Amino acid sequence: MKKKSGFTAFVDWLKTSEMFARPSKQLPGKWNLVEYYVEPENDLVYFDENRLKEENLFWELEFTKTQKYYHKTNIPVSLITLIEDGTWSHSGNFISLINPNDFRKSNEFQFAIDKNTLKLLKKDALGKIEFFGTLTKTEI
């Protein structure tokens, strides 16, 4: 009988830790926007959770385990309102929301996940923030 080494047990434990979980395991679920920043015309504009509630603004984003995503929104950010439901993929710390009709209309965001919080960032070619948002995971 082969004995499991301490190192193997440690590696197995790391794989179960949420901190080291792969995005494909952490992303599936429903996410709701709680704050965001945009930078139109060189002015950084911030919408916090209270302002979103006061103005009845929302963005709901759902990722499935089968690499599909669905979303609903009414935030006044053309980048977000032009997104169509489709498929998603990730590479490193980038997630792509792939347009089902025209891949050139797909959107790629830099992202990070920590403790049921998803942060999405998209900058233009000059480094200006097109969108930076924080979403929290909700129970389905």
Is residue 59 included in any domain, yes or no? yes
Q: Which domain holds residue 35?
A: 28-138
Residue 45 backbone class (left: φ over 0; alpha: ψ -120 to 50; beta: rest): beta
* CATH code (residue 100): 2.40.128
Find out whether 138 and 30 touch, Cβ atoms under 8 Å.
yes
Is residue 3 included in any domain, yes or no? no
By DSSP bridging, strand 107-114 and strand 117-123 are antiparallel
Is residue 32 included in any domain, yes or no? yes
Tell me the whole-structure pTM to 2 decimals. Answer: 0.81
Two structure tokens written together for 27:
């992303």
pLDDT tens-place string over residues 61-120 = 999 999 999 999 999 999 999 999 999 999 989 999 999 999 888 999 999 998 889 999
Phi, psi of 128 (to 5 degrees): -75, 140
| Number of domains observed in the structure of the chain | 1
